[in-house]
Structure 1
Amino acid sequence: MNKVPLIELETRMKRFRNQMDVSNPQWEIVVIFSNINLYYFTGTMQDGMLIIPRNEDATFWVRRSYERALDESLFENIKHMNSFRDAAKSMNEFPNTVYLETEVVPLALYKRFQKHFPFKTFKPVDIHIAAIRAVKSEYELSLMRKSGKIHQYVLEEIAPNLLHEGISEADLAAELFKILIEEGHHGVTRFGMFDTEIVVGHVGFGESSIYPTYFDGASGNYGLSPAVPVFGSRKRKLKKDDLVFIDIGCGVDGYNTDKTMTYMFGHELPQYAIDAHNKCVEIQNEVAEMLKPGAIPSKIYNTIMNNLDEEFLENFMGFGERKVKFLGHGIGLLIDELPVIAQGFNEPLQEGMVFAVEPKKGIKGIGMVGIENTFIVTPKGGECITGNSKGLIPVF
């Protein structure tokens, strides 16, 4: 069992407390419920809550499984509770204002919690946790580098050999998932977007990759059915002259990387499509060069977008009216983390932040061209950890 080191947990808690002291000098208590943040601070993902008082040690109250929490976690203060009532009895007083994860705590849970902890109001803590999670430690980066190597191997070396006429999108996605697991992928692709479900990612042949989808990304996907509009279609089979689009996640011990690769099956694409793809690769590399400490995400976004002509901007980062307004996103315990390379993100980058950079362009009758790789912010620019292939690999 690979446990999160105690020094790692202690450093995260110290950084969080410092962040709260600076941003909210009057804070008194934070309560965390979400699995991802519980794992970040305690090293285990159990049903419970983490109470962080300003002037006392934090306590992880676990409903289920207390035994597993003790087995998995090096966090030093884990206690068992059958309900919130048990935890409430341990506290002599409770402040009027509680900081909560307002992005993920449902109203019913909030009301159950307030029944036993009679505070008067709440404030959001989400952005403050996101700020410290955005800067990865060497421990975290080591896991992401492992994920990146798996990603590179599977998509650059293995995937081309899986392509054959007649295979369905769903079967290809299943084969890729199986191989990823065999290579060390932790088996789940987690998103922070509300109510978003992704199995492994998007696998699309030809026009499937620009079909409308509920997913907040540039590409599309027919999916398995209207009830499961992700993964890939059982009916769409690979045929000669297809563009194959694969945008999938990978992860090791909770930490994800993101990568997109494209393949020309049976025949080269028209030159205008190849040119559009190569332009996306150029954009990726330009963004990567700017991923240095002190750079402003919104300025990176504007620098790129303001230098693209109207013809290229048509169907860039999507297709038709379905276009996203970013060039990349933070990544770590979730595929979609802060900050984002987009308008409105004006805080300087810090060394150790990690971004998935994904310039893509939809082409009518062909599909989605473009690329995506994962980069670490360094003084020399973005360090790619998912491979250097330019994509659009010929498979003839």
Structure 2
Amino acid sequence: MTTELYPRERPGLVRDAAAEAGLGAVLLTPGPDLRYVTGYDAKELERLTCLVVPAEGEAFLVVPRLELPAAQESPAGSLGLELVPWDETDDPYELVARRLPGVRTVGVADRMWAMMALRFRAAMPDAEQVAAGSVLRGLRMRKSAAEVAALREAGAAIDRVHRRVPQIIKPGRTEREVARDIGDAILDEGHARVDFVIVGAGPNGANPHAEPSDRVIRPGEPVVVDIGGTMPSGYCSDSTRNYCVGEPPAEYRAYYAVLEEAQRAASEAVRPGVAPEAVDAAARDVIEAAGYGEHFFHRTGHGIGLETHEEPYIVAGNKEPLEPGMAFSVEPGIYPGPHGARIEDIVVCTEDGHEAVNATERGLVVIE
């Protein structure tokens, strides 16, 4: 699967995109862009690791000599890239500059450390720096079949975690205790890393980004569980489900039914040619019509892939039509204050509609 996820033609596609954008080269340091192009999940160090993709010529990977074995053993080692090691007394920024004579505009990785961008600016004083994300966004937004398969694998893994949650949430336990056990389950179910665990009980469920606290979960309190991690493939999971120990308040059940309808309407709106803002509106219209509009105050979704949050964003104002292969969350929420709820699936735009990679029950899970 590695060669399918990180194919040999990726550096060439970036080169072509850079040329089309009028850039002389693209410089990618450790982070999701570098991993997307090469498969190399390089350590973020003060020593420079940088994929250099000239608009004319072949790409090459500059690495500290002590990191050379890791680069060779990564998928980057099988791409046919030239690996250029540098020693402790070398200046890797000057090394790159010497190999890019006459370049006047360079795209630097969006996540490049400021100190590295400044060192490149000093080494290439005549080259204007722009964000490389504009070059890579079109490639990364449209997932390949292998990437969609990786997202399915991630979705199935986080689904398995949610199926374990009813055995973890108990009255008398704190949010922090529950979050710790859920984090362990995320790793147990195949993730390489836990990215986040949100356990919001009672009023904390009305804070979409609540941090687990020492608050004790009480009987009859709804609990929002929003969890995600990164798989060994590098691709991410993200799913939100809602639980309650015992019978929830009647007003909660009332708006939860509205939320289910809104999440379903937004998912069903996904198809090629539809603007992301229309998907957002599909959820928002249902919630506003039921009188809860003021309690839904975030976008409906975000793209996902090698990052939990990436393009496209499902929000008012985004008119860029959806295309097959675009993957993103559909996660409307209602947060009145005494409690809150959010339902989140990752969906992929297909040739004729959408596919949800999450399959667990979207209804409220009542824990007896």
TM, length-normalised to structure 1: 0.83
TM-fit CA distance, 1:17: 3.5
Aligned AA (1:382): H
Instruction: Report the Cα distance in structure 1 between the residues aligned to 2:324 and 2:295, rounded to whole angstroms.
Output: 33
What pairs up with 1:216-231 in 2 under 5 angstroms? 219-221=208-210, 223=211
1:38 to 2:34 alignment: yes
CA distance in 2, matches of 1:71, 1:210: 46
CA–CA separation in structure 2 for the residues paired with 1:163 and 1:303: 32
Asked whether 1:281 is paired with 2:265, we answer no
Whether contact under 8 Å (2:15, 2:54) holds in the other structure is no
After superposition, where does 1:311-322 map in structure 2 within 5 Å?
Answer: 311-316=291-296
1:75 aligns with 2:88: no
> Is the alpha carbon distance of 1:130 and 1:85 closer, same or farther for their aligned partners in structure 2, counting shifts above 3 Å?
closer
How far, CA to CA, are the matches of 1:129 and 1:106 in structure 2?
A: 18
The Cα of 1:9 is off from its aligned counterpart by 2.9
User: Which residue does the alignment assign to 2:124?
Assistant: 117
Q: Secondary structure at the match of 1:143?
A: helix
Determine if the alignment matches structure 1 residue 293 to structure 2 residue 272. yes
Say whether 1:376 aligns with 2:356. no
Q: Distance in 2 between matches of 1:61 and 1:174?
A: 39
Amino acid at match of 1:65: E
Instruction: Report the identity percentage.
Output: 23
TM-score, L = length of structure 2: 0.89
Deviations, residues 67-102 of structure 1 (Å, cap 9, x unaligned): 11101122322221234256237516141211223x
Distance in 1, matches of 2:356 and 2:17, equals: 29
Unaligned runs of 5+ residues in structure 2 are none
Shift of 1:186: 1.6
Deviation at 1:21, TM superposition (A): 4.3
**Partner of residue 229, structure 1:** none
Distance 1:162 1:281 in 2: 24
* Displacement after TM superposition at 1:304 (Å): 4.0
Residues 20, 184 of structure 1: CA spacing in aligned structure 2 closer, same or farther, 3 A cutoff?
Answer: same
- Superposed displacement of residue 110, structure 1: 1.6
| Distance of aligned partners of 1:301 and 1:79 in 2 relative to their CA distance in 1, 3 Å threshold | same
SS of residue paired to 2:264:
helix
Shift of 1:42: 1.2
Q: 1:6 to 1:282 in 2, by over 3 A?
A: closer
Q: Is the 8 A contact 2:205 2:341 kept in 1?
A: no
- In structure 2, the CA distance between the partners of 1:19 and 1:86, relative to structure 1 (3 Å rule), is closer
Q: Deviations over 1:371-392 (max 9, x none)?
A: 1011111133221111141231
Name the CA distance, whole Å, in 1 between partners of 2:358 and 2:350: 16
Q: C-alpha separation between the residues in 1 aligned to 2:230 and 2:100? A: 42
Does structure 2 retain, via aligned residues, the 8 Å contact 1:84–1:116? no
What's the secondary structure of 1:376's corresponding residue? strand
Aligned pairs, how many?
A: 354
Tell me how far 1:6 sits from its aligned partner.
Answer: 7.0
Tell me, what secondary structure is at the counterpart of 1:98?
A: strand
Aligned match of 1:137: 144
Q: Partner amino acid for 1:91?
A: R
Unaligned runs of 5+ in 1: 190-199, 212-218, 224-231, 317-322
Aligned to 1:386: 358
The secondary structure found in structure 1 opposite 2:107 is strand
- Larger mean CA deviation between 13-22 and 143-152 belongs to 13-22
Measured in 2, the distance between the counterparts of 1:306 and 1:395 equals 31
1:3-47: per-residue Cα shift (whole Å, max 9, x none)?
x3178332333433443444x2x3221111242111111111225
Instruction: State whether residues 32 and 38 of structure 1, in contact with CA within 8 Å, keep that contact through their aligned partners in structure 2.
Output: yes
State the match for 1:58 in structure 2. 59
Q: In structure 2, do the counterparts of structure 1 residues 118 and 71 end up closer, same or farther at CA, with 3 Å as the change threshold? A: same
Question: CA 1:341/1:143 → structure 2, altered by over 3 Å: closer, same or farther?
Answer: same
Q: Tell me the amino acid that sits aligned with residue 351 of structure 1.
A: P
Counterpart pick for 2:187 among 178, 181, 185: 181
Shift of 1:276: 1.1
Q: Secondary structure at the match of 2:295?
A: coil
Instruction: Describe how 1:151-166 pairs up with structure 2 within 5 A.
Output: 151-155=158-162, 157-166=163-172
Q: Does structure 1 retain, via aligned residues, the 8 Å contact 2:54–2:100?
A: no
SS in 2 for 1:255: coil
Preserved CA contact (<8 Å) 1:245 1:369 = yes
Query: Does 2:107 match 1:99?
Result: yes
Please give the root-mean-square deviation of Cα atoms over the aligned residues, in Å.
2.1
Q: Is 1:352 paired with 2:357? A: no
